[in-house]
Structure 1
Amino acid sequence: MKIVSRTLLLSTLITASTAHADTQLTLQVKGAISPPSCDLTIDQQGVLDWQQINSASLSTTHATTLPARTTHLNVSCETATLFALRAKDIAARAAEAGSGDATRFSLGTTRTGKAIGSYTIRSAASSCLVDGKKMAALMSSDDRGKTWQPVQDELSWTTSGEQLIAFSDGANPQPLPAKTAVFTLRVTPSVAARQALDFDDSVTLAGSTTFDLVYL
C-alpha cells in the first residue's frame, strides 16, 4: 500500500507537470522609428510691421517700394538632419493686378477688393548660417528634391509652396544635413499706385507667408 501510494503520487505529479509545460514560446521584437525632430521659428514672432505709412508718400501713377526689413528663419534639430524649406503665399490675392511674377507675395486687398501690392522675400548665402558657420551656397529644386540647382548670388523665394530650398558645401550640388541653420529673410514691400487704391478709409498691409520644413 505504501508503494502504491507513492506510485500514484508520482504519476499525479508527472501528469500535472506535463499538463502545464510550455513547448512553444514567442519572441516579440518591437520598436518605433521616428522622423527627425526639428523646430522652425521666425524672429520677432514672425511679424514685420511697417507701422503707419502716409498715403501722400506713395506715388500716384506707379508702385512705391518701401524700405526693406530683415528677419531670421531658424531651424533647430536634435541631430544633424537632411531637410529643405519651402514658402507659400496664403494671403487673399497675389500681388498687383496683372503681375504674374512667382516671387511676388500678396499684401492682401482693400475692403473693395483691390490688390494693395506685393512683397519679395530674398536670402543670400553670405548672410545665412549652418551649424554656426557661414553658409557656402543655397540651392533650389522644382521637382520635389530629385534635382538641385545652385543659386547664383541671391535667392528669391517663390509663392507656390512647390520650390524647395536647401544648402550645400558649394562644391557638390547636393543638400547637406545640419543640426542648426539660420536663414536671413530680406522682405521688401511694394504698394500699388495711389490711383489704383481707395484711400477713403485706412488700408492695412496684410501679407502672410507660411514656411514649411520638409525632411529629405
Structure 2
Amino acid sequence: MHVRHKLRALFAALLLSAGLVGCSVVEMNRTPEEWLSLSYSGLAAMDQYAFSGSMSMGMEEGIMFKPQMFEGKVVNHHQLTIQSDKQDPLYWNPVEVLDSLNRSHESVEIVRSGERDSSGATTLVLRVVEKRDAAKNRWVGVLVQELEQVTGEVVITSGAGSAKRKEIAEQAKQELDAMLRSLEVHTAYEIVVDKQRMLPLKMEENTTFTYDRKDRKLQENRHTSVRFQAFESTAAKTD
C-alpha cells in the first residue's frame, strides 16, 4: 500500500511537470459554463481578498464623464467595505456579480486561453453575456432605490417654501418611471481566470442602456474594470 501511494504521488508530479499540456487536458474537459461556476465558487471560498477598479459613464454623442475610482476589501467571506473618490455611494460586490452571471447568463464562451498575466499565472478569458431581463431587473432596482433615497432626503430636509423642491422630486420620479418602461439593457463581461487557482483576476463590464426620454431615444454606456489581489484562505494561502 505504501508503494502504491508513492506511485500515485510520482504520477501526480509527472502530470504537474507537463505544464501547459496538463492545463490543456483539463481545459478540454471543462465547458465555459463550468469555468464560470468554478471562478464564482473559488472567489466565494476565499476568506478575504481585495480589489480595485474604475467605473465610467458615457453618452452616445461621445460625451464622457470623469471615471470613478474605487477600491474594496472582503473579509470573512462576505463583509464588504468599499471606498470611492467621489461622494456618490458605489456598491459593487464581485461575488454577487459572479453569482448573478452564473445563474442568469445568456451565453458563455472562452475567447482566449494560455496567456500569462503579470504575475506569471496561466489564464483563460471568458466572455459572459447576461440575460437581458435579469440585467434590466437589476438596474431597475438600483435606479429606483437611488431615486427613493434622493427624494426621501428632499422630504426630510424640506422646510417652509419647499413645495417647489417636492414638485421637482415628483417630476423626477415620473420621468424615471417613463424611462424604465422603455429601458433596454445589454451587459457583457470579460473575466480573466487563473486556470490553476480557479480565481478571477480581472473583470471588465460593458453595459449599454437604451431608453426613451421626451420623445427621444437615448443611449448611455457604462464601463467597469476591476482587478483582484491579496487572496487569502484558511484552506490554502494564495496571493
What interval of TM-score do these two structures reach, taking the shorter chain for normalisation? under 0.3
Query: Whose Rg is larger?
Result: 1
With normalisation by structure 2, the TM-score equals 0.25
With normalisation by structure 1, the TM-score equals 0.27
Task: State the structure with bigger RCO (CA 8 A, min sep 6), 1 or 2.
Answer: 1
| Higher relative helix content | 2
